[in-house]
Structure 1
């Protein structure tokens, strides 16, 4: 493969025989602990793996699933978001169990298929029922009210008197029937789980439900209800992977903003597990290596410090999720292969504006719409960026150069004169906002003076913008 060949970030490989081979986020300890926890219960439980968008929940549970297979614990994976086009969550759940059942182990598999067929038959009586047959009967009866276009008043009276009693009787009979069917459904479900447990061992069937927070609100709620009420049987454990804060928005969209969401979810979720925050530096280092970008980010910037550290600090400042870090690396990869002549200071701005594109798209759009001769608006754009840096600024590192102060100075220097005195005055005013000591200010000034050989102007901003915008023609 040539030096400029493009690569892309792909989901990590999770080998069957070694699920943690590519575990750069150190999830192994978490998974082993959770396995011990869930297998200590004899009853059915619902465990929620709570993590924000893009924090690696899907990779976590797929890695966990492979680990459980090594322990001979049967599992089923159900992507709720891919199934919310259906009208009934129970149909989707039973369908996924049916599709996955052939991949499960267990010596009593033949009996398991028998229980599955019984399960399908009984589930027919538990799915949503709009009582279409009742209304067809009512519609047919109403047809007898008319003869030659005239209404038969006596038939309407008789029909009205009996309608309430008939419907009430039907509903009572339907309730009694559904209760019997529900008991039969749970009994067969529990036996189905037993069939796929290793012989002489009683290990639960683990059903993973992923992407619940991305579903339609009604469908997400229905999945929760079905999991808790219909699947609440021995030998079955549910693991939900979801962002509970986003799930809360879905629930409030259905039941109103005043709902106590935590109280509501406690009806369905027995235990919460907050997915630990990963080491993002290690994660991005792995991606940079996979994409062969190390040579670009390991350029020495100042006193032995590489510009890779800028990336680490940008990610920290703007709290990029794992998914957003992947997007950052994909865009940087395209920029690096299509514009490989950026100098050190220019690369710093490339890194920064990619992150602005990902995290603050409203500001980035104003950058993308700027004309090369529109100096006034470019100044407004730079000021907006500086304000955004200030509003996010939380990083404190007394042992080395403050990179964000340097970034701010770099942006301001675009509009400064070639005179070092004027440049110094402009930047000093900016640095006062950070209350930096004289030593830090001196370091930044020296670094900027050194960088004057790589002078950055408005034309450079336009070139960086053009390079980044090439990436918009690609989907990741």
Structure 2
């Protein structure tokens, strides 16, 4: 007896220590090799930003890059800013991460590193946000002594504040002079510590990756940027930020106001931006389907495309590319699909195509997806068709037969003749979007095939109910 299918969930891409690109379905190797050459060509400290939107694979990219650098004997540190967001001071969190990797060193380098790290810890008290809080507690206690029995000694307070003003001015000057010296010694110790990680090779800086900055509290995100640029701006250290700069901009405006020039502000901290190439035309969806065991459902050629030998997985890839689904959205789509194929009776090949489309609407256009109901069928179909055509660009490869088939399936939901596809409806559809003759012919050629499938609003609602059922599951 065959074992029942087990429900799986999408897993993070495994980074193989020996070959970090073993599972590189996004073809990131060339990007990482070029960036490595770029950062090792600089003698001074720089801050490089890897900019990409939510769900575009930033974390996997820098984890893969980190392992690649390790294999090149280039020292690295990974700092997840969001996981450290609970701390009160970003500087302490950053220094803590640096200290954690000292034990990875050996011999004389390890001994030296511990000495420099001890110096850094002694200096850090002067540089943290709470460094001056104790003096104000002392002042507050002294001020409180001038209040007796609920009565304020006015003459004493006047004398105290006059002396306090002169004393504070003197203290502030002394503290400023002290802080400059402390900062110099801090940076010097930090640079020497980085040398311990790097060895004698000047072309091997300490690379500190900062991830998830755009998910942090606005104040914490800004503080990480400030500390990275001002306090860690020393030889032998390179910072790589992986963040969505658009989202980071929202965080910065939340602190400094909506009128702030975010790009100008970020130029103070970020030396170079690298826009991570979009992965939408990759085989990531194929890799996910294999990982979840969906490929056996999706690799059979659909019966309506025997001449084209087109599989359901091909259709899924093309719809994914048409709608430019992010990696996270592709994972969400596969998770929903994974549940449906295991909890619903066998779907027809036409229903799979409609299922792919409705899941995409749920992920990308939830308002349109929610509008699907019996009372709104005609309006939903027209808006759905409009949505499909809004995705096409001049660069879109429209040389695929199934997309016209999908459009015709949707049109048959509102066809006027129950038994024969309405060519007049196709004609109106073509005129609405001013399609060329090639597109029109593809639609007409699809009619006889689609006509064998009785698509209606009920079939769409059944598929929608299956999608909603899948939403009741939680995959941790």
Q: Deviations over 1:304-334 (max 9, x none)?
A: 2333333233222322111111111121111
- CA positional deviation for 1:421: 5.3
Q: Does 1:347 align with 2:346?
A: no
Q: Deviations over 1:152-178 (max 9, x none)?
A: 332122122222222222222222222
Q: Deviations over 1:227-270 (max 9, x none)?
A: 01100111111111111122122222222222222222121111
Counterparts of 1:184 and 1:468, CA distance in 2? 60
- CA positional deviation for 1:105: 6.0
Gap regions ≥5 residues in structure 1? none
1:343 touches 1:454 (CA, 8 Å); kept in 2? no
Q: Deviations over 1:184-233 (max 9, x none)?
A: 11111111111122356662111000111111111111111100110011
Aligned positions of 1:330-369 closer than 5 A: 330-367=335-372
Residue in structure 2 matched with residue 413 of structure 1 by the alignment:
412
With normalisation by structure 1, the TM-score equals 0.91
Alpha-carbon distance change, 95 to 344 in structure 1, aligned in 2, over 3 angstroms: same
Alpha-carbon distance change, 222 to 431 in structure 1, aligned in 2, over 3 angstroms: same
Alpha-carbon distance change, 149 to 253 in structure 1, aligned in 2, over 3 angstroms: closer
Aligned positions of 1:238-257 closer than 5 A: 238-257=239-258
Residue in structure 2 matched with residue 126 of structure 1 by the alignment:
127
Residue in structure 1 matched with residue 332 of structure 2 by the alignment:
327
Q: Deviations over 1:249-308 (max 9, x none)?
A: 222222222222222212111111121223534221222222232233332342323333
Residue in structure 1 matched with residue 205 of structure 2 by the alignment:
204
1:68 touches 1:75 (CA, 8 Å); kept in 2? yes
Q: Deviations over 1:335-361 (max 9, x none)?
A: 112225111211111000111111112
Alpha-carbon distance change, 55 to 132 in structure 1, aligned in 2, over 3 angstroms: same
Counterparts of 1:148 and 1:27, CA distance in 2? 72
- CA positional deviation for 1:424: 2.4
Alpha-carbon distance change, 231 to 439 in structure 1, aligned in 2, over 3 angstroms: closer
SS class of match (1:273): strand
- CA positional deviation for 1:104: 4.7
2:40 touches 2:203 (CA, 8 Å); kept in 1? no
Counterparts of 1:24 and 1:422, CA distance in 2? 41
2:404 touches 2:442 (CA, 8 Å); kept in 1? no
Alpha-carbon distance change, 70 to 422 in structure 1, aligned in 2, over 3 angstroms: closer
Moved more, 237-246 or 101-110: 101-110
**In angstroms, what is the RMSD of aligned CA positions?**
2.3
1:55 touches 1:323 (CA, 8 Å); kept in 2? yes
Aligned positions of 1:223-302 closer than 5 A: 223-278=224-279, 280-298=281-299, 299-300=301-302, 301-302=304-305
Residue in structure 2 matched with residue 58 of structure 1 by the alignment:
59
Alpha-carbon distance change, 306 to 161 in structure 1, aligned in 2, over 3 angstroms: same
Residue in structure 2 matched with residue 450 of structure 1 by the alignment:
449
Residue in structure 2 matched with residue 37 of structure 1 by the alignment:
38
1:107 touches 1:196 (CA, 8 Å); kept in 2? no
1:106 touches 1:197 (CA, 8 Å); kept in 2? no
Counterparts of 1:323 and 1:421, CA distance in 2? 41
Counterparts of 1:276 and 1:36, CA distance in 2? 18
SS class of match (1:42): coil
Residue in structure 2 matched with residue 473 of structure 1 by the alignment:
472
SS class of match (1:280): coil
Moved more, 424-433 or 85-94: 424-433
Residue in structure 1 matched with residue 78 of structure 2 by the alignment:
77
- CA positional deviation for 1:382: 2.8
1:106 touches 1:199 (CA, 8 Å); kept in 2? no
Residue in structure 2 matched with residue 390 of structure 1 by the alignment:
389
Alpha-carbon distance change, 362 to 99 in structure 1, aligned in 2, over 3 angstroms: farther
Gap regions ≥5 residues in structure 2? none
- CA positional deviation for 1:365: 2.7
- CA positional deviation for 1:60: 0.9
Counterparts of 1:454 and 1:214, CA distance in 2? 46
With normalisation by structure 2, the TM-score equals 0.91
- CA positional deviation for 1:459: 2.2
1:80 touches 1:215 (CA, 8 Å); kept in 2? yes
SS class of match (2:413): helix
1:288 touches 1:329 (CA, 8 Å); kept in 2? yes
Alpha-carbon distance change, 439 to 95 in structure 1, aligned in 2, over 3 angstroms: closer
SS class of match (1:272): strand
Moved more, 291-300 or 70-79: 291-300
1:409 touches 1:430 (CA, 8 Å); kept in 2? no
- CA positional deviation for 1:419: 4.2
Counterparts of 1:306 and 1:136, CA distance in 2? 72
The number of aligned residues is: 469
Q: Deviations over 1:339-389 (max 9, x none)?
A: 25111211111000111111112222333xx4xxxx322333333323322
